[in-house]
């Protein structure tokens, strides 16, 4: 059932922002093979110190305040049924679809019901264990279209996670969510990014993440051994570094200056170790292999339901 924002306002105070469109065509399907992008919420309250979505270029004011797009479900329904082609709808790029408000509002859950109803696939990125609530719908989608769930884990150490991702679920809880997804037959794995230079870019962290991923059933891990920094985001990141890791800010400034991409000095060695561990645990880590694996068996079915002009 689609609830109007007025119905939900009677119990919860949520800020709404106008939106003309929500499900948009992706410009580049090389990122996990998604065809469409969907962001229901704007802003995020996980408080991750490195979040790229804080960057000035995205023009998200009051980023830590979660807002939702007005009449989001009605817009999504209308847009999905008008699409000429079905495909995989990705969510979680700009704002976590499983922020704390989702527990009550269920906008992500209802959007997945619409994705199922109109024959689309789903690709979800999150740091929240709340995704396991929607396993029932993900299984329905999986029956006709590709589904991939990406749980972001940057450190195996809950203590460090609390500093760099203060309001997100602990890493240990995210590993348990991964296990529930894979045990339910959902294609799921990890986003190992960012790996922050001078903080979690070490052999111990990488080896433990891969081993725990294997233990919890991960089908894939996709990494980035570094962090990206842009105007707006960089200033916030440096302020938080001073609070949580005194002295590290100066190391960033001295090594990277105003560079956008701050690759770990250990990136080559870490990737070698990472790849060896993934091979050992039979975990995919190359993008083309991940896309091929989660879409396997759907190619003919997807093509057969496309409506061509």
Q: What is the model's pLDDT at position 164?
A: 97
Q: What is the average pLDDT score of the chain?
A: 91
- Whether 19 shows a pLDDT value over 50: the answer reads yes
**pLDDT for residue 301:** 52
Asked whether the predicted pLDDT for residue 7 surpasses 50, the reply is no
CA distances (Å), origin 11, targets 16, 101, 110: 15, 12, 18
- pTM, two decimal places: 0.91
Residue written as token pair 């396997």: 296
Q: 38 pLDDT band (50/70/90 cuts)?
A: very high
Cα distances (Å, whole numbers) of residue 305 to 201, 226, 301: 45, 40, 7
**For residue 13, what are its two tokens?**
């105070």
């Amino acid at each position: 059932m689609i609830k109007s924002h007025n119905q939900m306002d009677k119990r919860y105070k949520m800020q709404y922002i106008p939106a003309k469109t929500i499900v948009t065509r992706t410009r580049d399907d090389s990122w996990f093979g998604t065809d469409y992008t969907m962001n229901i919420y704007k802003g995020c309250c996980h408080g991750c110190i490195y979040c790229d979505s804080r960057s000035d270029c995205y023009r998200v004011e009051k980023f830590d305040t979660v807002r939702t797009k007005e009449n989001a479900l009605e817009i999504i329904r209308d847009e999905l049924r008008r699409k000429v082609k079905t495909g995989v709808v990705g969510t979680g790029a700009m704002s976590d679809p499983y922020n704390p408000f989702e527990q009550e509002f269920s906008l992500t859950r209802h959007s997945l019901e619409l994705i199922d109803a109109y024959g689309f696939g789903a690709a979800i990125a999150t740091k929240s264990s709340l995704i396991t609530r929607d396993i029932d719908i993900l299984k329905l989608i999986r029956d006709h279209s590709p589904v991939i769930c990406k749980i972001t884990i940057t450190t195996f150490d809950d203590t460090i996670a609390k500093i760099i991702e203060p309001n997100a679920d602990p890493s240990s809880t995210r590993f348990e969510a991964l296990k529930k997804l894979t045990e339910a037959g959902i294609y799921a794995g990890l986003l190992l990014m960012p790996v922050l230079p001078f903080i979690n870019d070490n052999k111990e962290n990488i080896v433990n993440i891969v081993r725990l991923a294997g233990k919890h059933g991960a089908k894939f891990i996709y990494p980035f051994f570094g962090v990206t920094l842009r105007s707006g985001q960089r200033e916030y990141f440096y302020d938080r570094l001073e609070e949580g890791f005194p002295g590290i800010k100066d190391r960033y400034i001295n090594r990277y200056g105003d560079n956008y991409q701050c690759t770990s000095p250990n990136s080559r060695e870490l990737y070698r170790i990472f790849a060896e561990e993934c091979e050992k645990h039979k975990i995919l880590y190359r993008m083309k292999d991940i896309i091929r694996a989660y879409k396997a068996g759907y190619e003919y079915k997807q093509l057969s339901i496309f409506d061509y002009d």
